[in-house]
Structure 1
Amino acid sequence: MPSRSVTAPTTADQERAWEHVSAVLPPTPLLPTALAPGAFLKAETQQPTGSFKVRGALAALAVLPGGEAAVTASAGNHGLAMAYAATLTGTPVTVVVSTKASPAKVAKMAAYPITLVRHGDDFDAAEAHSLTLPGRYVSAYNDTHVIAGQATIGRELDVQAPGPLTVVAPVGGGGLVAGLALWAEGRGDVSVVGVESAVSRAVSAAVTSGRIEPQVIGDTIADGIAGNIEEGCLTPDLIRGRAELTAVTDAEIHTAMRWLFTEHGLVVEGAGACGIAAVLAGKVAVNGRLIVILSGRNITIPAAINILAENYPSHHDPR
């Protein structure tokens, strides 16, 4: 896969993203939770596409010259966000997904007037193919304006939850945590913790080694954060020294999904529950108030039912 030149978002880029995103999307709510004293859940599940990804997509398409087409690859949520943003900006968009992408996310994408391409058995293959197609490539994670768009979550927290804070979010390609890390850098009372799937640790490997090398990626319920990152990816450099990284197993993610349902009545996809999984597993050191970002809700009904029913008693005692 060829290396692309991507620059870190400047202050001006972040301000521009905030203008575009806040003009379209109201702030997502903070939900009080007993997870820790004074803790909140940041419900990005309430976005119109069911995921925080709409922020980055809106920011990226808003700066494209009129009439220019965009192309991207996605595990699902970014493609859905690009499709939604395309309807608002009038941008022609092509989205490449793997043949194994989440059916729930693919079905929602197909409802929008975009060009939807199925290619390859995983995200890495879909991403490689998308880079060969015409149009301005908008990476789900390695894009100046996408990262700036994800940082708008922090701008909302400035008003909703003044520090000190510990903000916990999932990590796939690292765009969300990179954006949060940039936002937090000028705020000495905010720390950021990124959570990967234990079987998909491309970002933490690059942060540790200082170079990007393909990693073995396993199957996980957190399909939205599974995959390698492209050569030359900017996010490890933005995260290094600005955020802590940890990882959770699928068993821990399943526990978190059930906890969110039983304690808050929330259906959250695997990737979206990773922050909760890390906190419940004791993998997050909390300073100040805890904010856990629930990044997405898009999961098939059968998958959600199977996970929620795990370890649930099969009999009913009428007493």
Structure 2
Amino acid sequence: MNERTARRWAELPPAAGAAVMATGIISVGFRLTGLETVSRLMLGIAGALWVLLAFDFGTRLLHSRRRWFAEADTPPALTAVAATTVLGVRVALLGWTHLAAVLLAGSAVLWAVLLTAVLTHLRSGMPGGVFLICVATEALAVLGAILTPWAGDWLGYTSLAFFLFGLLLYLAALVRFDFGQVVAGAGDQWVAGGAMAISALAGSKLLATGVWTGVTHTSLRSTTLFLLVVDLVWYAVLFVAELLRPRLAYDVRRWATVFPMGMTAVACLSTSTAAAVGWLDTLGQILLWTAALAWLATLAATLHTTPRRTAASQGS
């Protein structure tokens, strides 16, 4: 591969993984609401995007290694973990447990490598992407919990450990987050709420395993509901901030807005069943369609912007 071709394939930023995350989680949401055909269409798109990004990931490692290592210690690199596990969640819902298990194992290895690098480079005043340290960890907990009935209780206990560790990482991210990003961020500020949403989803999936009973089950249920409430508060604050200070210019980090919106919807739908809170199902369906509209708008902006970006790159 010549230098120009390698450079073109190395142009996708790590944050592009949020497009897979957003598409995959909305696919899950449509599956939970019974819209299987639409859900599978979204799964196909998410799968195609994942293959493209995986190819880019490998090409960059082989031909742009300096850039690969430079980006591996930044929080957006963790979208590779979250994107793979979200895809795993959706294929697990199809009954493809072996494939989901492979995706979980690969994600866990990648998580261990990338998280170690990212944690050593955290600093104060970071944008919303810093919360990906929590998102990637909780994503492993979600997929692990879903596969627990197939793999055994040991995976449930492991997933619980990831769930609790993810909450600690959320606090680590929160103290480093630049709260000014709420009104000035380019899109990834929404991950502050999205991290709570995926944590609540992890809690709901752990409840659904049936591994825990008694006080432990009650504590897990209460924690899940608390996390979901915090997520909904974040959602309201971030939504109002968007209205007060619109940021309409396209940025790839807008996919990191769509993902938390979809994740909040799925967390509501899942928690409604696992924690027996009926009204959350209605809220989840409303939020799911809101996320779907945001997905369409972001996709349109991406398709409108990409040809110009490609032309500029080829001219350089």
The alignment's TM-score, normalised by the length of structure 1, stands at 0.30
Name whichever structure is richer in strand by fraction.
1
Name whichever structure is richer in helix by fraction.
2
